[in-house]
Chain A
Amino acid sequence: MTESDRRANEGNRSGHAEWRQVEQRHHEPAEGDLATDIVVVVAAAEGIEPSELRPPLYEAVDAAALEETFFGQNARSVSRQSAGTVDFHYAGYRVAVESGGWIRVYEPAD
Chain B
Amino acid sequence: MSGEQWERVYVSLYHAHVPKLVDEGVVTFDEDSETIQAGENATQMLAALERMGASLDSDQEHHARSEIDDRK
Tell me which residues across on chain A come within 8 A of B19, comparing CB atoms.
Answer: 56, 58-59
| CB within 8 Å: A-B pair count | 43
Chain A: residues with Cβ within 8 Å of the partner, total of: 18
- Let me know if A73 is at the binding interface, CB within 8 A: no
B20 touches A58 (CB 8 A): yes
When each residue 45-63 of chain A gets 1 if its CB lies under 8 Å from chain B and 0 otherwise, what string results? 0000111010011110011
Query: Interface residues of B: mostly helix, strand, loop or mixed?
Result: helix
A64–B11 Cα distance when bound, in Å, is 13
Question: Which interface class (under 10, 10 to 19, 20 to 34, 35 or more) fits B?
Answer: 10 to 19
A58 touches B7 (CB 8 A): no
Q: Of all chain A residues, which has the CB nearest B14?
A: A56
Q: Which of A5-13, A22-30, A34-42, A79-87 sits within the interface?
A: A34-42
A51 touches B10 (CB 8 A): yes
Interface residues of chain B, those whose CB is within 8 Å of chain A, are 7-8, 10-12, 14-16, 18-20
